[in-house]
Amino acid sequence: MGAVEIKPGIYWVGAVDWSIRDFHGYITPNGTSYNNYLILDKHVTLVDTVKHDFSHYTIDNIRALTDPAKIENIIINHIENDHATSIEHIMALARAAVIHITERGKKGLDRFFDTSKWKFRIVKTGDTLNTGTKTITFLETPMLHWPDSMMSYVKEDKLLISQDAFGQHLASSARFDDEYCDQCSTVELEHAVRDYYANILMPFGPLIKAKLAEVQKLGLEIDMIAPDHGIIWRRDPGKILKMYLDMANGKADLRVVIIYDTMWQSTEYMTTPILEGIRAAGVDVEVIKLRATPTSIAIKRFWESRAMLVGTPTLNNIMFPSVAEFLSHLRGLRPKDRIVGAFGSYGWGGGAVKEAYGELKKMGLEAVEPGVEVLYRPSAEDEKKCFEFGKQFAEKVIEYHKKF
Ligand code: FEO
Tell me which residue has its CA closest to atom 3 in ligand 1. 80
pLDDT digits (tens, 9 = 90+) for 37-65: 999 999 999 999 999 999 999 999 999 99
Distance between Cα 84 and ligand 1 center (Å): 9
Distance between Cα 164 and ligand 1 center (Å): 5
Distance CA 149, CA 159 (A): 17
83 is an active site residue: no
Distance between Cα 228 and ligand 1 center (Å): 8
For residue 229 and ligand 1, the question of a CB distance below 6 A is answered with: yes
User: Span 84-102, mean pLDDT?
Assistant: 97
Helix 321-332, helix 352-362: angle, nearest 10: 10
229 is an active site residue: yes
pLDDT digits (tens, 9 = 90+) for 211-241: 989 888 888 999 999 999 999 999 989 989 9
**Taking Cα atoms as reference points, which of 95, 88, 35 lies closest to residue 67?**
95
For residue 169 and ligand 1, the question of a CB distance below 6 A is answered with: no
Mean pLDDT of the chain: 96
Distance between Cα 80 and ligand 1 center (Å): 5
The pLDDT value recorded for residue 216 is 84
The pLDDT value recorded for residue 1 is 84
DSSP per-residue letters across 125-163: TT-EEE-SS-EEEEEE-TTSSSTT-EEEEEGGGTEEE-T
For the chain, percent of residues with pLDDT exceeding 70: 100
164 is an active site residue: yes
- 10: enclosing H helix or E strand: strand 10-12
The pLDDT value recorded for residue 166 is 95
Catalytic residue from among 196, 197, 244, 357: 196
Distance between Cα 150 and ligand 1 center (Å): 12
80 is an active site residue: yes
User: Span 200-221, mean pLDDT?
Assistant: 90
pTM of the model: 0.93
Tell me the backbone φ, ψ of residue 350, rounded to 5 degrees.
70, -170
Reported as half-sphere exposure (CB side, CA atoms, 13 A), residue 22 has a value of 4
For residue 78 and ligand 1, the question of a CB distance below 6 A is answered with: yes
43 is an active site residue: no
Residue 339 near residue 287, CB atoms below 8 Å: no
Report the amino acid identity of residue 272.
T
Give the burial string for 343-358 (b: 16+ CB within 10 Å, else e).
bbbbeeebbbbbbbbe
For residue 268 and ligand 1, the question of a CB distance below 6 A is answered with: no
Tell me which residue has its CA closest to atom 2 in ligand 1. 80
Distance between Cα 188 and ligand 1 center (Å): 21
Distance CA 44, CA 246 (A): 38
Classify the phi-psi angles of 241: left when phi > 0, otherwise alpha if psi is within -120 to 50, otherwise beta. alpha
Distance CA 388, CA 225 (A): 48
The pLDDT value recorded for residue 186 is 84
User: Span 15-28, mean pLDDT?
Assistant: 94
The pLDDT value recorded for residue 184 is 74
Tell me which residue has its CA closest to atom 1 in ligand 1. 164
DSSP per-residue letters across 354-368: HHHHHHHHHTT-EE-
The pLDDT value recorded for residue 100 is 98
Residue 398 near residue 281, CB atoms below 8 Å: yes
For residue 41 and ligand 1, the question of a CB distance below 6 A is answered with: no
Q: What is residue 100's three-state secondary structure?
A: strand
**Taking Cα atoms as reference points, which of 4, 17, 29, 12 lies closest to residue 196?**
29
Give Cβ neighbours of residue 306 (< 8 Å, ≥ 6 apart). Answer: 252, 253, 254, 255, 256, 338, 339, 397, 400, 401, 404
Catalytic residue from among 229, 244, 261, 346: 229
Count other C-beta atoms under 10 Å from residue 246's C-beta.
Answer: 12
pLDDT digits (tens, 9 = 90+) for 240-279: 999 999 999 999 999 999 999 999 999 999 999 999 999 9
Assign 118 a pLDDT band (cuts: 50, 70, 90). very high
Q: Which of 19-28, 57-66, 334-343 has the lowest mean pLDDT?
A: 19-28
In the 8-state DSSP scheme, what is residue 36?
-
82 is an active site residue: yes
Catalytic residue from among 145, 244, 261, 357: 145
Catalytic residue from among 17, 41, 82, 383: 82
Distance CA 263, CA 270 (A): 13
pLDDT digits (tens, 9 = 90+) for 149-186: 999 999 999 999 999 999 999 999 999 999 988 777 88
Report the amino acid identity of residue 24.
H
> Which value, in Å, is the radius of gyration of the alpha carbons in the chain?
24
